[in-house]
Amino acid sequence: MKSTANELLDYRCNLKCSSSLGRAGVTQSYQIHVLQGEGANILFELFPNLKAKLINEYGACLCSLKNKFRFVIGDVLLNKNLTEDLHWFCIDRFTLETILRRELCLQYDNEQIQWMSNTKVTQLIVNQSTNAVLGVKYRSKLNSDTKMQLYSDFIIDCTGRYSSSIKWLKENFDLILPTEELHTGTGYVSFVGERFKTGNVSLDSIHVGGNAAHAPNHNKGFLTTPIRQIKSSDPNSLGLLSNFAVYCVNSEYPPNDSYENLLEWIKEYLPIDYYLILKSTKLLSPLLPYRRAFDSRKYVELLGRKWPLNYILLGDAMCVFNPKNGQGMTHACRQAKQLNEIFKQKYHLKDISFIYNRQASSISEECWLGSTTNDWAVPTLKVTKTDQYGKTTTYQRSEDSTSNYSQPKIPLFMQFLQWYTHWLIKCAAQSGELSTAFLYVVFQEKTPYSLLQPKFFLKILYSSFRNSFNLTKSLFD
């Protein structure tokens, strides 16, 4: 926590493997992370000096989406004439979370906050007759014999994607949490590099963005975001250290055995621009793979008042998203903000988990639609659902007729969203207004339902009909 900006960067770049440092169970910390606009708004409201500190001391940067950004979805380039200039706050996740932890400890004294490292919560302490969680049992990771108990008025379980909450709820309250999981064969290779001039000014001006994978036909993607601005005496340096991710869905994994092989793969499967950018980039870290990405939702709201008092799930512990849309951190920030709003309303403590579950799950629902609409189009999709009676069913899309699993059936609403998104993206290529509205949704500053408003809906409907009947005039011309 006391490391300087350069020490953090060295630490980050010298990792031999993604689990060699940092918090256990958070190996994604070293993968590329973009912080969406609403996530940045929430953090900077909570920590008013944080933004300036990250920019001035840690080289973070604000990238204008008007002139330093390229966003291709599948093979459709979003229109660059945005009607408003949005900015992406760009920083390395490992640096961000380390500095946040430091700010948190500075803002509150030891009486108010205690940071316990190397401890693992192993169980809930409950009172079954009042249906309440009273505290947790935990143990030291360094000495597993030391078991301790912590009692609390209210417990926020933010233990991430591998949370044991389902097991704890079953063991202690005999509650079955309905869940849904989508496996899409998403795989990342992330690394850090210094950007150098390519000889093509328009490529050098792309600081953030890339090609988003879009199933079923565009299953490979590329993303870059600057993590530090640096001063360099080399006239060819762009003065940027950037994070890069080459990724896929449908298990079409990029190699991570050598940079040369990765470059060859990019040359073969992605637009040549990214090969040119990376060829003139100096690699500064290992190529870190990640292949355990999935979407996973716990439908906490369906348990209604059966949900225990004084206990909630937040962030990935409640809902995990395919990382390709960069939603998870902002989703967690939004749920935390919502919880704060609920506390401010001064509800009775016993009602808070019930109220929170309803409101937080609608935040998850928005991100879930954003993530799973295209995931339902992945050719080898695997879906596992557990219903309220505990019956688990697995479906897998496959051409193999001897497969043990039935084919997943795309829900009707999802079919509508797939059709709508397809035409929305095509229309956004023509329209700065629609691209801007779409980016606000990506930033989580506006709800996805804002894209269904009549003025967009009618234009998208018209474009779809026009295409079906081969008409030439577009409303966006």
If one asks whether residue 95 binds ligand FAD (CB under 6 A), the answer comes out as no
Site track 142-171 with ligand FAD (rule: CB under 6 A), x = hit? ----------------xxxx----------
Q: Which stretch binds ligand FAD (CB under 6 A): 313-321, 342-350, 386-394, 439-447?
A: 313-321
**d(C-alpha 240, C-alpha 229), whole Å:** 5
Nearer to ligand FAD, 23 or 279 (CB): 23
- What residues numbered 286-305 form the site for ligand FAD, per CB under 6 A? 290, 293
Nearer to ligand FAD, 313 or 342 (CB): 313
CB count within 10 Å of CB 394 equals: 14
Site track 360-399 with ligand FAD (rule: CB under 6 A), x = hit? ----------------------------------------
CA 182 from chain centre, in angstroms, equals 15
If one asks whether residue 28 binds ligand FAD (CB under 6 A), the answer comes out as yes
Identify the residue whose tokens are 């039935």.
406
Number of residues that bind ligand FAD (CB under 6 A): 28
Pure H helices in 36-173: 37-46, 50-58, 93-107, 165-173
If one asks whether residue 326 binds ligand FAD (CB under 6 A), the answer comes out as yes
Which of 6, 20, 24, 57 is the binder for ligand FAD (CB under 6 A)? 24
Which of 25, 239, 255, 432 is the binder for ligand FAD (CB under 6 A)? 25
Nearer to ligand FAD, 136 or 434 (CB): 136
Which of 316, 366, 375, 433 is the binder for ligand FAD (CB under 6 A)? 316
**d(C-alpha 286, C-alpha 284), whole Å:** 7
Peptide bond into 255 cis (omega under 30): no
- What residues numbered 109-138 form the site for ligand FAD, per CB under 6 A? 120-121
**d(C-alpha 151, C-alpha 139), whole Å:** 14
The token pair at 19 is 């689990």
Nearest distance from C-beta of residue 310 to ligand FAD, angstroms: 18
If one asks whether residue 330 binds ligand FAD (CB under 6 A), the answer comes out as yes
Q: Which stretch binds ligand FAD (CB under 6 A): 68-76, 214-222, 279-287, 326-334?
A: 326-334
Sequential DSSP letters for 179-218: EEEEE---EEEEEEEEEE--S-HHHHT--EEEEE-BTTTB
Q: Give the three-state DSSP class for 129.
A: coil
**d(C-alpha 260, C-alpha 254), whole Å:** 12
**d(C-alpha 451, C-alpha 432), whole Å:** 14
The token pair at 401 is 């007729």
Residue type, 17: C
Q: Contact 327/443 with Cβ under 8 angstroms?
A: no
**What H or E segment, with its residue span, contains residue 441?**
helix 432-442
The token pair at 443 is 């930033």
Nearer to ligand FAD, 24 or 471 (CB): 24
Nearer to ligand FAD, 308 or 326 (CB): 326
Strand blocks (E) in 299-342:
311-313, 319-320
Nearest distance from C-beta of residue 20 to ligand FAD, angstroms: 15
**What H or E segment, with its residue span, contains residue 90?**
strand 87-90
Nearer to ligand FAD, 79 or 225 (CB): 225
If one asks whether residue 254 binds ligand FAD (CB under 6 A), the answer comes out as no
- Minimal CB distance to ligand FAD: which residue? 328
Site track 332-351 with ligand FAD (rule: CB under 6 A), x = hit? x-------------------
| Residues contributing to the site for ligand FAD (CB under 6 A) | 23-26, 28, 31-34, 120-121, 158-161, 188, 290, 293, 315-317, 323, 326-330, 332
